[in-house]
């Protein structure tokens, strides 16, 4: 047995080792997922986040390392209540969240330079954050932040770079107050060019960008429908992606996938494989457009849904074979919230200075203002979760599933979607194993460890 990824350190401290009782009958914890590899199998505990490699002789209840698997919470007694166990662990681990840094998602504008047909904010009035409001944001952040603690700023929109002046003001102000921060950005990437990247890296302390791609040149340009006539936006964004890699800014690419563009995304994946010097440093996630949130909702019957997910699996395997990091990689931290909306450490600041719990403008109502003397971050509907189903008790994704009542994306839960989630997790497990073997081989070559 080889430990490929250690459990979440906080969880490990809480749980310790499970006692082994000789006359007890054991079964695999419902939250454990396994997938075969050439050398044996990989076993991942989706609650504790530990990943193990087991040889063929070590798998199963007759395993010579079975007692160790029990101690590590991979096997539990038949009478064990898995769901209650997960709930209690997350409740205790929630104390950890209160000590984590704060996240401010800041919409500098609701305007955008693209006209995506599926935009979930279609019809929202366009307006920018004024420079005065940007100054007020600095004061608000100072008033609610803990002294000396690094905060995380997430630039969002609209297209946040359509009002880059607001970013300049906020970052300059925080630096003058010696408030440490890092920032990330969700952007279409068109305006994040070689001229702007140095400022983004130095002044904004930009560490990560997420950029959405819809396909190769023809499909991308039609889907995005930028406001700039006669410009090959696709090539512009590719150039900017390359410049971001050169600058050492982390890149996360979101592929918006549907039946109409799935084959073209396969071509795009190959193109991206040749674009980047080190594909393993780039995260690529696949996001089905099937949703009720867009201007043109795409809703499939079961047959078409299955066809879509089957196609997504082929794309996923291609991305994996090209060496890209799949999604956000294999998680090594217990998940304590769905997103910013139900996190006690996160808040969304709108261009007018109002505060929200969700970055999707159409979702929910303001919960306060940056100008409130005592800002209230009341959560409202965002602390309410959808009613659990009987199948939830044994679902391997239960520890990471937070289905918010007022979130449309939380409605998507079907047999096909759960199989798709498993395929993504399998890919992440395999990728973690390959990286482990690569690092171990490198260490051996350098004489840092014994073979």
- Tell me how far apart the terminal alpha carbons of the chain are, to the nearest angstrom: 15
Q: How confident is the model at residue 451 (pLDDT cuts 50, 70, 90)?
A: very low
Q: How far is Cα 209 from Cα 69, in angstroms, rounded to an integer?
A: 39
Unique residue bearing structure tokens 């393993």: 280
Domains and their CATH numbers in the chain: 2-82 (no CATH), 100-243+256-270+289-306+330-422 (3.20.20.70)
| Inter-residue contact 305 to 416 (CB < 8 Å) | yes
Q: How far is Cα 128 from Cα 107, in angstroms, rounded to an integer?
A: 9
| Inter-residue contact 385 to 403 (CB < 8 Å) | yes
Nearest-10 crossing angle of helices 302-321, 262-275? 10
Q: Sign of dihedral through CA atoms 8, 10, 13, 19?
A: negative
Other C-beta atoms closer than 10 Å to the C-beta of 304 total: 14
Q: How confident is the model at residue 226 (pLDDT cuts 50, 70, 90)?
A: very high
Q: How far is Cα 168 from Cα 159, in angstroms, rounded to an integer?
A: 15
Which DSSP state fits 136?
H
Mean pLDDT for 419-442 is: 92
What pLDDT shows up at residue 390?
79
Distances (CA, A) of 117 to 86, 267, 283, 297: 40, 22, 25, 10
Query: What's the pLDDT tens digit per position in 57-70?
Result: 898 778 899 999 99
Q: Select from 148, 156, 143 the least CA-distant residue to 106.
A: 156
What pLDDT shows up at residue 358?
82
- Cite the beta strand spans of 172-331 per DSSP E: 181-187, 206-213, 250-257, 282-288, 325-326
Mean pLDDT for 284-298 is: 70
Q: Sign of dihedral through CA atoms 107, 111, 116, 122?
A: positive
Phi-psi region of 368 (alpha: psi -120 to 50; beta: other; left: phi over 0): left
Query: What's the pLDDT tens digit per position in 162-203?
Result: 999 999 999 999 999 999 999 999 999 999 999 999 999 999
SS3 154: strand
* Whether the predicted pLDDT of 97 surpasses 80: no
Which DSSP state fits 322?
T
Q: How far is Cα 224 from Cα 236, in angstroms, rounded to an integer?
A: 13
Q: Sign of dihedral through CA atoms 322, 323, 325, 330?
A: positive
* Whether the predicted pLDDT of 365 surpasses 80: no
Q: How far is Cα 109 from Cα 123, in angstroms, rounded to an integer?
A: 14
Max mean pLDDT among 286-290, 315-319, 346-350, 353-357 falls in 315-319
Percentage, residues of the chain above pLDDT 90: 63
DSSP for 417-436, please give it.
HHHHHHHHHHHHHHHHHHHH
pTM exceeding the 0.85 threshold for the entire prediction? yes
What pLDDT shows up at residue 404?
78
Bridge partners of residue 286, in order along the sequence: 255
Q: How confident is the model at residue 96 (pLDDT cuts 50, 70, 90)?
A: low
What pLDDT shows up at residue 450?
47
Find the helix or strand (DSSP H, E) in which 123 lies.
none
What pLDDT shows up at residue 117?
87
What pLDDT shows up at residue 447?
62
SS3 427: helix
Mean pLDDT for 277-286 is: 94
Which DSSP state fits 375?
-
Q: How far is Cα 339 from Cα 121, in angstroms, rounded to an integer?
A: 19
Q: How far is Cα 400 from Cα 132, in angstroms, rounded to an integer?
A: 40
Q: How far is Cα 393 from Cα 103, in angstroms, rounded to an integer?
A: 31
What pLDDT shows up at residue 389?
80
Query: Six-digit token pair at 283?
Result: 């995260």
What pLDDT shows up at residue 29?
96
């Amino acid at each position: 047995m080889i430990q490929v990824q250690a459990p979440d350190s906080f969880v490990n401290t809480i749980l310790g080792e499970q006692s082994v009782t000789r006359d007890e009958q054991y079964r695999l914890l419902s939250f454990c997922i396994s997938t075969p590899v050439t050398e044996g199998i990989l076993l991942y505990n989706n609650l504790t986040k530990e990943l193990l490699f087991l040889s063929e002789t070590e798998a199963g209840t007759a395993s010579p390392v079975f007692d160790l698997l029990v101690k590590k919470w991979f096997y539990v007694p038949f009478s064990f209540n898995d769901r209650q166990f997960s709930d209690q662990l997350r409740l205790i681990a929630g104390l950890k969240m209160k000590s984590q840094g704060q996240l401010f998602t800041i919409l500098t504008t609701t305007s955008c330079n693209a006209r995506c047909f599926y935009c979930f904010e279609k019809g929202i009035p366009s307006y920018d954050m004024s420079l005065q409001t940007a100054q007020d944001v600095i004061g608000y952040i100072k008033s609610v932040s803990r002294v000396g603690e690094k905060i995380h700023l997430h630039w969002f929109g609209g297209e946040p770079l359509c009002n880059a002046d607001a970013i300049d003001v906020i970052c300059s102000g925080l630096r003058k107050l010696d408030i440490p921060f890092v920032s990330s950005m969700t952007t279409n990437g068109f305006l994040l060019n070689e001229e702007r990247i140095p400022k983004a890296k130095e002044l904004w302390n930009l560490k990560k960008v997420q950029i959405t791609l819809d396909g190769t040149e023809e499909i991308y340009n039609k889907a995005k429908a930028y406001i700039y006539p006669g410009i090959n936006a696709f090539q512009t964004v590719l150039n900017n992606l390359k410049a971001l890699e050169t600058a050492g800014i982390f890149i996360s690419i979101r592929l918006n996938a549907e039946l109409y563009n799935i084959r073209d995304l396969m071509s795009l994946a190959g193109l991206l494989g040749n674009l980047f010097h080190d594909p393993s440093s780039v995260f690529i996630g696949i996001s089905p457009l099937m949703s009720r949130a867009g201007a043109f909702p795409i809703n499939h019957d079961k047959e078409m849904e299955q066809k879509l997910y089957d196609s997504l699996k082929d794309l996923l395997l291609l991305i994996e074979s090209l060496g890209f990091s799949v999604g956000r990689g294999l998680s090594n931290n217990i998940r304590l919230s769905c997103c910013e909306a139900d996190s006690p450490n996160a808040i969304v600041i709108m261009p007018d200075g109002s505060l929200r719990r969700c970055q999707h403008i159409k979702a929910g109502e303001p919960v306060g203002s940056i100008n409130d003397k005592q800002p209230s971050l009341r959560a409202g509907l965002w602390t309410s979760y959808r009613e659990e189903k009987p199948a939830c008790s044994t679902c391997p994704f239960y520890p990471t599933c937070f289905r918010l009542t007022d979130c449309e994306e939380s409605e998507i839960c079907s047999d096909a979607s759960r199989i798709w989630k498993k395929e993504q997790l399998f890919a992440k497990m395999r990728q973690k194993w390959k990286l482990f073997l690569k690092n171990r081989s490198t260490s051996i070559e350098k004489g840092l460890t014994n073979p």
